[in-house]
Amino acid sequence: MSRVSRGFRITGWVIKCLFFATVFSVIAFLLWRVFSSGDPKSMKTITPNEKLCAAYERAGGEPEMFRQEQNMITRGEKNAGYFAVTDCVFIPDANQVQVVVRYNNSTVRALAEDYSLEEIPSREAELFDISLTVATDLTPDTEEDNKGNDPESVAFTRVVPCSVSADTKNLYNYRRLVFDLDEAGLSLSDLLSEETLLAVYVDIYYQDDIRYEEPAYGTLCLYDYLTERESVELEARDRKAIEAYQNP
């Protein structure tokens, strides 16, 4: 065998090895992304409190819960991909809403650029103020004005969280928030039965630029009166968390 032929064989073997190494690397990366994706366990489990536990007892362990299919990633020109809602559940029996908000490290870098900060904040810092805006119908007999902002026809109520828990996973940062609507003088059950709940939004403001009268840094719709509701049942981990809260 000539040296030229041997050289071609070695070159071909090297190319083949590089090809298969690249393919396996891509497959390994995709598998890692699949198995490492998803919320951390702490964010998947419902957060119990006194109101939820009381509703749990009254409902015989089966409180009414629902969610809707909504656009759960910000897609605005100035905040595309900044924030996502990975879980949201409405619990009328507890007059409560629980929401999981996710943002990645690139959002933190974008924040530094958007606000001309001297340095990129730590991912562990509490950078964002997260609240709900609840839109209610003041003129239920007139449907034509439901999509407007006229204070004579639509009322907007701000709801702040009663608890916030944090976690991280890979490049993602998570906040699980509990909103008790009692604190804002609202009744989720009454609004639903009276068909006066128009929409619920989650608003995300930069902690050093909270101006509720101005558009938020990121906003996502969690509920609107036209979209079908999807019933939700408690998972085993949720029941375990509630029972652990009841029996510390």
Contact 12, 6 (CB under 8 A): no
Q: At what angle do helices 236-246 and 50-58 cross, to 10 degrees?
A: 110
For 64-91, what is each residue's pLDDT tens digit?
A: 999 999 999 999 999 999 999 999 999 9
Contact 180, 51 (CB under 8 A): yes
pLDDT at 33 (0 to 100): 45
Pick the closest to residue 66 from 50, 87, 51 (CA basis): 87
For 96-140, what is each residue's pLDDT tens digit?
A: 999 999 999 999 999 999 999 999 999 999 999 999 999 999 998
Beta bridge partners of 132: 159, 202
pLDDT at 147 (0 to 100): 78
Q: What is the gyration radius of the CA atoms in the chain, in angstroms?
A: 24
Is the predicted pLDDT of residue 24 greater than 80, yes or no? no
